[in-house]
Amino acid sequence: MSRVFEALRNLLNAPLDNNAHTSKTDDEAGTLFIRAPLVEMHKGLDKSIIPSCQAKQEGRGSGTVRYFAYGANMASSTLAKRDIKPLSACPAQLPSHHSIAFRHRGGYATIMDTSAASGSFMPWRSLWQTTPVVKDSRASSAAPTDQSLQLVYHGPHGVLYELHKADLKKLTSRETGYAVSSATVTSYAGVGTSALLFTSQALLLLPASVPPQRRYLKLLLEGAKTHGLAPEYMQWLRELPCARPGGLGAEYFDTPSELLARCAAVGLAACAAFYAAMH
């Protein structure tokens, strides 16, 4: 039986197979614990078609919602690919107790609310990491510790859209591993309003922010430029380090969902070993 336990320990501490995560193309649909979708680059938003949200809205019906985009959905190419047609769009900002961080599995952006309790799954992580995990032999693609603060921005900027509810439903179906939440945002005109936004599900959260992939960051910059986000925010985006080429390291997939997958694998192996020993 000692051999069985040794095999189970090796399985639990086995390095992540990152190639399995990085071989998919951007157009392949993700599943809950696999990846968030990416989209290709395109030209800026046509402001003659998408009016400013400062325009009169007396005619807005109950079939619309306000949605705050802070990631790839700021870019017109993303919305065009997903067949989303905003009724209005304008730059806006979240309060300072919110921050943007690249903590979604795969290095995608999410919004963290520092005023709310978080880290419900962190005790699980301590169990997972009692024995050091041997990582991929390739050079790590994570940012050094002294860059961790650079990868987080408090009071993030984004785009406040007015959408048909049907369009929000389309977006929700594409935002893999994200949940719909709400927050108060303030437009650059100084008007505060409640808006919906996507935040990472707890099982998909990384323990720390990591450098985003270059093609993903380009989408954020595209959207920020199109909608005229604040110069200081644009500068922060431009200065962000990017993930190193050659594939993502294990730190991009270090989520509670990985722990659950490992536990499931260990459980199956233990059952198989017990069955074999009994027969």
Q: In which residue ranges of the chain is pLDDT below 50?
A: 1-2, 4-5, 8, 11-12, 15-50, 54-59, 117-146
State the fold for domain 2-278: Hypothetical upf0131 protein ytfp (3.10.490)
Tens of pLDDT along 30-88? 323 222 332 232 333 344 434 565 443 444 567 999 999 999 999 999 999 999 999 99
- pTM metric for this prediction: 0.68
Identify the pLDDT of residue 31. Answer: 28
Domain boundaries, the chain: 2-278
- d(CA 230, CA 237) in angstroms, rounded, equals 11
- d(CA 277, CA 35) in angstroms, rounded, equals 38
Identify the pLDDT of residue 270. Answer: 61
Identify the pLDDT of residue 125. Answer: 43
Identify the pLDDT of residue 28. Answer: 30
- d(CA 9, CA 11) in angstroms, rounded, equals 5
